[in-house]
């Protein structure tokens, strides 16, 4: 091989190496930019992060209004029955700090414990930072410390889990909620009223994804709204993406609501007891939450 040919050969191979590394760097950059697929669908306005660190029943003022911290509510299905539970910030796992421990501790079958965190609450007569927010991404890691059996639902020690976020600007409300039940059914919440009765949970037939047991799960829900409707966009569960493409009408709040608010929620649905060794009608349930985030944004519709 003569000198010119050798130089051309070396040059061509050097260029191949250069182009290879440029392509590799470009791929890494693209992956980094799209690490959070939900955040790329709208322009971010504000990101509430690490909400598991919020206080329990500790309302306080912020630049956005009142923040309530985590509050616990009883969701009683049948008059005369009861449910007990609480939320505790506790370091349960060696590699995770201050996870939020949500618990059903006792009570009657089929009642539920609802954990909410109102992130910003402001009188509707005052300026509210989130008036223009029309897109949201709600995410968390969660660990169910109880038996789950999607193939044999009657062996599951809880009835289900619910993941909820809401933007309210009286007289209207936009509320997104997804529910997983022990029979491995996913449903979405429809706040539409028919003859003064809320439509409620509607099954999503195209999703059949079960939770991981004795391991951390990751969930993300994305949605957006216009003046009249809200849209369920996608569900991300454990690195799987499920398009939802569900549209429903906004709902009307009671006339005594005078505050705009932004809220996230998580609910444990109690089952009928299947374990021995306690006298409750429902089994005690522990669910740990970590990396609870709500990203608000502006989406061009």
Confidence of residue 31 (pLDDT cuts 50, 70, 90): very low
**What pTM does this model have?**
0.86
Look at residue 205 in the predicted model and tell me its pLDDT.
Answer: 94
**CA separation for the pair 285, 85 (Å, rounded):** 9
Buried b (16+ CB within 10 A) or exposed e, 170-185: beebbbbbbbbbbebb
pLDDT of residue 214: 87
Tell me, what DSSP letter sits at residue 55?
Answer: P
Give the pLDDT confidence of 182-216 residue by residue, as tens digits. Answer: 999 999 999 988 887 899 999 999 999 999 988 99
Per the model's pLDDT, the better-predicted residue between 6 and 187 turns out to be: 187
User: What's the whole-number mean pLDDT along residues 151-175?
Assistant: 97
Statement: residue 167 has pLDDT above 90: yes
Per-residue pLDDT for 8 more than 50?
A: no
Cβ density class 71-106: b for 16+ within 10 Å, e for less: bbeeeeeeeeeebbbebebeebeeeeeebbbbbbeb
Long-range contacts of 54-62 (CB under 8 A, 24+ apart): 54/117, 55/89, 56/87, 56/88, 56/89, 62/120
Q: Given this model, what pLDDT does residue 97 score?
A: 86
- 3-state DSSP assignment of residue 41: helix
């Amino acid at each position: 091989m003569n000198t010119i040919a050798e130089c051309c050969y070396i040059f061509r191979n050097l260029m191949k190496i250069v182009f290879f590394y440029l392509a590799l760097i470009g791929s890494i950059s693209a992956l980094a930019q799209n690490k959070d697929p939900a955040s790329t669908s709208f322009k971010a306005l504000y990101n509430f992060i690490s909400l598991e660190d919020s206080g329990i029943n500790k309302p306080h003022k912020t630049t956005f209004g009142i923040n309530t911290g985590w509050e616990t509510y009883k969701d009683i299905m049948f008059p005369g029955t009861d449910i007990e539970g609480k939320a505790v910030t506790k370091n349960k796992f060696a590699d995770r700090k201050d996870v939020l421990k949500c618990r059903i501790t006792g009570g009657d079958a089929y009642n539920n414990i609802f954990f909410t965190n109102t992130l910003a609450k402001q009188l509707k007569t005052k300026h509210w930072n989130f008036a223009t927010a029309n897109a949201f991404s709600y995410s968390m890691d969660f660990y169910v410390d109880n038996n789950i059996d999607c193939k044999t639902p009657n062996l599951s020690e809880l009835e289900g889990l619910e993941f909820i976020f809401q933007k309210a600007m009286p007289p209207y409300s936009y509320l997104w909620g997804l529910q997983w039940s022990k029979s491995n059914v996913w449903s979405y919440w429809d706040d539409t009223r028919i003859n003064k009765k809320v439509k409620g949970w509607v099954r999503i037939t195209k999703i059949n994804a079960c939770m991981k047991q004795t391991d951390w799960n990751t969930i993300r829900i994305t949605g957006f709204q216009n003046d009249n409707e809200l849209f369920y966009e996608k569900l991300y569960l454990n690195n799987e993406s499920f398009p939802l493409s569900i549209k429903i009408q906004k709902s009307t709040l009671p006339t005594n609501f005078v505050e705009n608010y932004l809220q996230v929620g998580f609910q444990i649905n109690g089952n009928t007891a299947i374990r021995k060794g306690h006298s409750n009608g429902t089994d005690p349930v522990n669910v740990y939450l970590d990396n609870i985030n709500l990203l608000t944004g502006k989406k061009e519709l």
